[in-house]
Every structure is written in C-alpha cells, then in structure tokens.
Structure 1
C-alpha cells in the first residue's frame, strides 16, 4: 500500500484528470447535464437533478451540485470504480486528496487535456495564493481546496447517495459518505440550554470544520475607487442598485423594465430562494444612472417594452445580461485596482449601512434583505473587521500621543511635588 491510499493508490502524486463535463443545456426541463468521457449523460445524476428540480431547487443549485458530482465522478473514472460500488474507504481517499492536494489549474477549452497541478504564482502586482490581498485584506484564492468547498462537496455527495439509497436505485448497499461516528450516542443536544441557539453539528464523518467568517463590507473610500473605475452608465447603475437595495447580484438581474419605478423609488426583483417577487427601495442616484443607460441603449436598438429585461449587454448582438457577464465586469475593476472584492461584498456593504442606521428598525432591514431569521441580520450590527482594526490603531495612536505630550508644570513652585502626587495623583505634576 502506498502513502495515503488503499489498493495501491498513490494519492500524493494523483492529479484529477479532465474527463467528462457539466453541460449547460438551456432547457428548463434539464438545465444542466453531467456527461461521461464518451459524451453520454450520467443517468444517476440526471435522476438526482430531476428530483432537485421537482423540489423547487433553482438551476443555480444544479450547477453548484453538478461541479461537486463531476469532481467525484472523475475520481471514480480514474480508479475504475462503479458509482454504486464505492465504499467509505473510497470517500475517505477522495476527501483526503481534496484536503492535501493542490487544485487542478483551470485551463482554456482550447487546451483541454493538458491539466496539471497548480503551483504558487506571485509577482509584484499579484500576491502569493492564499495570502491577504494588500488592498482589501481578504485572503486570495489558495492552491488548496478551501474548507467551505470541501464541506459543500461532502454534503452534496452524501445527499446524492442518500437519495439513491432511499429510492433503491442501482446496486447501492451503503452510503460511502457516512455520518459522524459520534452520532447515535445518546439523544442529540441532550444537555442543550433552551435559551441558547443550537450549535452547528458536523453530521458527516469526513466533513471538515468550516471557520466562521465575518462578512466584509467595502469602505467608503474604496467604494469610490471602484465606482470611478467603471466604464459605462449601466455598470454605475448596477453598482448603485446593489449597494442601496442589498439585493443579491443574480436577483437584480431578474428585473424587467416595468420593475423599475423611479417615481416611487422602487425596483422589483425575484428572490433567490423563495422565488417571490419583492419591491425594494433604492437610492435616487441609481435611477439617474439607469435612465442614462436606457437612453443610450434604446438609441442603439436594445428592445424596449414592459416585459423586456432591464439589463442588457453593451454590444451587439444585444443579449440580456447574465450573472457571469456581470461578474466579469466587476472582475475587470478589481484587476484595475489590484483588489479582490466580490459582488456579494456589495450586499454586505448595503447590509452594514442599513443595519447601523439608528433611525431604521432592524426588522425592516431583515425584510429588505429577505433573511429568514432576525439573527442573520443581527450579524451586521456587530463591528466589522475594518472597524475593529481602525479602533485598535486609534487606541495605539492615543497612547503614543500621551507619551509624547509634555508633562504640565506644578501648580506653584512653592508646593512639594511629592505631596501633590499623593493628594491628586501623578497627573498633578
């Protein structure tokens, strides 16, 4: 047996091959399809996707789950393991490889088949992967799979096998991604204080511990730099709406032209989870930039109508703007500034601004952000990491100023300084 693996697997030098693909079909009945190396659909995944669609899961969920399933299937194809014959040792090796190995480099489609292990890359304008960004302070993407990625992958694969076990599909006998051994020993949360929230439990045996991350907002000065780096009125309108409504990036892109109501200062979006339609208050500047974009777009031939999409590409052929194009726009601004802000940081920024307005009730903020629980909204009332750092630096600056400040002269030269010190403390001399 070689290091890290069973049955002769050398996981230490294993590189995940670029086999199969997750195909976007454009068909709402089957938005995504997992294909094997021969180009044929993987039927167990197709059945799982149909069940997710019937359970009101959006297409974005299928895309997220599909990437984890594709990674697992590539592992199975490499070692010639049938999906319904995998055991816990196979799952253990896979999760161990995700923990210790370098991520494969994503290459252009023209160079597929030339996948290799990632190596640290650093330059004068690009920090080493995994280190904090010099502009934002946020960690950059590292060469290893992040704990969040590994935890999500373990949950998806355990849920996938549980579905097929419940349905009795294939020759599957056991779930290769078992529950934690500690489960089943006594009643869950037997000694829990009912006045305190339930602590999250690690339900999967190979599920990693995910560190708690505090949401990061964009400081006002950095936001001004981002806004100044935008190249079109459309992008300025998008940024203004994101930071004033708190809507998720993909939610704002669901708006039609009739959803923008400048007279009422409202814009309608479809919520990501519930798919409910909601009107959100927005800043006046956002509607100004939107009108400037619309005037220019309509003159260029963009379709006009109440049911037409609100956001469009800037060049012919005119296409409704999707999330990937919006993220590419924001990535170009990041490259210009040397930062690594994300579109979701704009939602955090809006959340912090609203939650820290003393004249705005937190329950109103909860409704605007579409949080299911008020405790989720309350995290934005806590000081952000930037505020904590600024307060700490200000404290040290005050301490240094006290050291450098000249000591005051005694009240009168005729008094004994030691007596004044006893009566009034050291500050009297």
Structure 2
C-alpha cells in the first residue's frame, strides 16, 4: 500500500512524496509533485496533495484498476469511500444516516488534488478531458463582463463536493478578551506581566490584522516597524525559506498598519526575548522569526503551526463554555473581516488587508455579513475595531 513520506535534504526545504510497496517513490506521482515544487507551491501544499494521492492510490488498489484507465464514476466512488467508507463496487440501496469521516472542505481538497494530478498528466499527452470536466452550463446565472464574447462554453468539474453557503465562524469581543487574558495579563499594581506575552501577542496580532496563522508565524523582526512617533506597521513579506514550510499565501506582499497598543505589546515581548538571551543566541535579531519556542532545549527556534493548535486545545479546555468548543486561530481572521465590514470599512480595503487576490473572493466569503443584521446585536463590533489602526492606503 502507498504511504506518505517526509523527505529531508541538506540545504533544501522539507518536502513530501508517496512511496509504493517497494519503498520507492511512485514515479507518476513523484513527477507531478516535482512539478508542484518547481512551480513554487509550498511544502504544506505538497504534503496535502501527497496525502490525497496516497488515498487515491489505495482506492485504485481496491478498484483493481490502473491509474491511466479511470472512469468518471470512479471519482464519485472515491468521494464516497473517503467520506463514509463505502468501498468501490458497493451500491447502497437504502442509505442510513452516516457521519462523514471528513469535512466537506477536506473532501473537496482531496478530489481537487486528484483532478490536478490528472490535468498535469493530460498536459503530458494523456486524454482525461471528458472524465475531469463537464460542459454543462453553470448553475449560477452570473455572466462576467464580456462573457458573451466567449466562444467556448464554461467547463466545470465533472465531480465536485457541493458547498453550502455558511457564515464564517466568528468570536465575540468577550470571547476574544477571555482568550487573550488567559494567555497573559498585565497587573498595573505590580507593574509586570504574568503568563505568556508571546501567546497574547500572537492572538492579538491575528485579531487586529486578519493574518493567516502561517503568515503570522512567518514574520521576522525586520518585518515589524515600530511607530517611533509615526504609524506602526508590519510587512507581510513572501519568503520561501521557512524551516517548517510556512509561506504567505499567493506570494503577495502587503503592508498592514497596526495599533499603538499592539506595538507596545510587541516591544514588551522583544524585551523579554532579550532578557532570555535571544539577542546573543541568534546571528541576527532582524532575521530571526518573531514567534519562537521558549521551552528549554528548543529556545528561539521558529514555532510550528501544530504548536499553536496544541495551545488552542489547552485554552479551549481551560475556558470551557466561555469560548466556542471548536474555535481555531483562523476564526480571528473571519472575526477581523466581519468586524471591519460591520463597522463600515469598504470592501476593497478589507480585501487588500486580508491579502485576497480578488475582491470577489472577499465577497464570496463574507457576503452574508451585510445581510445578517442580527449579528450586530451579538457583539460590539465598533468597539472591537476601535482598538485597531486601519489605513485605506493599504499596500
């Protein structure tokens, strides 16, 4: 059976491949994964696609069919297999309620990876067009500008996962404060901090900027520009050398203004790092990552996203009903966008601040915000955004 294998090479980023029964990379998969690497896809993308293709190879073994001879029904059968465990060749005549083993978003990612694999090999001369795509008209009546001049019909995926339009999950002001205060708290009577200033800084940064977790963990100290009498800001700088494969999505630079309060919290954190000896332990503080491990034996090494998620799990357990049971760091991003829109920020400003490639992406995710007036009564969004500094001239 196929399995995913991490690959470590001297002087190169960690990457991933899929091994066969002979413990060697499966040639057709490796050819595609190398294409992803050479075209600038992040190691995490390679890892995710490797997992998807490993599952696809296992499914083909159950199907007893070579990868080049797939049929359109195989794709839908693959979805059934990864979602509810129905093996190929089995038809459920009277389906009973079953809990999907994976979320719709994960299933969509798996089928997209398989489709991308076959598209790549189609470029190499194979013919999978009628299996991968359908010329059926789109369900939406939306027609883009000059769409009437298009000669060919729009081609859609032949097999896809229906996505329900749900509101993006958000946190209330009270919940955000509970999370941050649990991490670290300043005592004005004593004049010092208790808890973890690093963790409080991370969640405050996610709240105030809408950064993705990977983008926050990719920040280096040279990206943080303190106010010094002017407006403080951070550079979200695309790089490809993070030791854990974290990158700025889309490789697009942007500049985000931040509040004086967040800047002061960062200054306190840097002071604590220097007191712990980081300025002497690393070659250059400017080139060092902002969020680092502080545990003995791993001091000052870049944090992993997995470390943050473990911390989130502990906070969930400690706070109990004070916070949603399934909140994740990405909820801060949704909360940030929602708060900005409800506070009256223009859509294009929100889109650029989030780093979306197109305003339509922002609209697709957050169109429900303007329609849900009841949301205004659930949290004081104006109070939340007053903590931030939001500049319309976002680069």
Q: Could you tell me the TM-score, scaled by structure 1's length?
A: 0.66
- Deviation of 1:337 after TM superposition, in Å, equals 2.8
From the superposition, tell whether residues 325 and 197 of structure 1 become closer, same or farther in structure 2 (CA, over 3 Å): farther
Aligned length: 328
1:343 equivalent in structure 2: 329
Q: Does 1:40 align with 2:40?
A: no
1:326 matched to 2:311: no
Contact 2:252 2:355 in 1 (8 A): no
Q: CA deviation at 1:97?
A: 1.8
Deviation at 1:191, TM superposition (A): 7.2
Residue in 2 that maps onto 1:222: 175
* Runs (5+) with no aligned partner, structure 2: 88-97, 149-153, 184-194, 239-247, 379-395
Alignment of 1:125-164 (within 5 A): 143-164=100-121
Which one of 247, 262, 268 corresponds to residue 292 of structure 1?
268
1:317 pairs with one of 287, 293, 298 = 298
* Cα deviation 1:237-296 (Å, max 9, x = unaligned): 011111111111111111111111122411122352332333211222322332222222
- Relative distance call for 1:38 and 1:176 in structure 2 (3 A) is farther
Q: Deviations over 1:138-167 (max 9, x none)?
A: xxxx65322222222222212211211221
- 1:367 equivalent in alignment to 2:352: yes
Q: Is the 8 A contact 1:158 1:177 kept in 2?
A: no
Cα separation, 1, equivalents of 2:350 and 2:131? 39
Match of 1:12 in 2: none
Determine the C-alpha separation between the residues in 1 that align with 2:357 and 2:368.
19
Q: How big is the shift at 1:78?
A: 4.4
1:79-158 pair list within 5 angstroms: 79-101=63-85, 143-158=100-115
2:204 maps to which residue? 240
Unaligned runs of 5+ in 1: 1-16, 104-129, 131-141, 393-429
CA contact (8 A) 1:158 1:175 kept: no
Does 1:178 pair with 2:132? yes
Q: Distance in 1 between matches of 2:18 and 2:147?
A: 39
Q: Name which of 56, 59, 80 aligns with 2:40.
A: 56
Which of 288, 291, 306 is 1:308 aligned to? Answer: 288
Higher relative contact order (CA 8 A, sep 6+): 2
Distance in 2 between residues matched to 1:197 and 1:293, nearest whole Å: 53
Change in 2 beyond 3 A, CA 1:195/1:162 = closer
Distance 2:7 2:373 in 1: 42
State the Cα deviation string for residues 298-349 of structure 1 (Å, max 9, x = none): 2223235211211111213221112222222223212323421111111111
Alpha-carbon distance in structure 2 between the residues aligned to 1:175 and 1:60: 28
Aligned to 1:125: none
Is residue 161–residue 175 contact of structure 1 (8 Å, CA) maintained in 2? Answer: no
Aligned-residue Cα RMSD (Å) equals 3.5
Partner SS, residue 47 of structure 1: helix
2-side partners of 1:335 and 1:176: how far apart?
50
CA shift in 2, pair 1:41/1:332, >3 Å: same
Query: Does 2:250 correspond to 1:274?
Result: yes
Q: Which of structures 1 and 2 has the bigger CA Rg?
A: 1
For each residue in 1:48-80, what CA deviation from the matched residue of structure 2 results, as whole angstroms up to 9, or x when unmatched?
A: 112122333222221221221111122234455
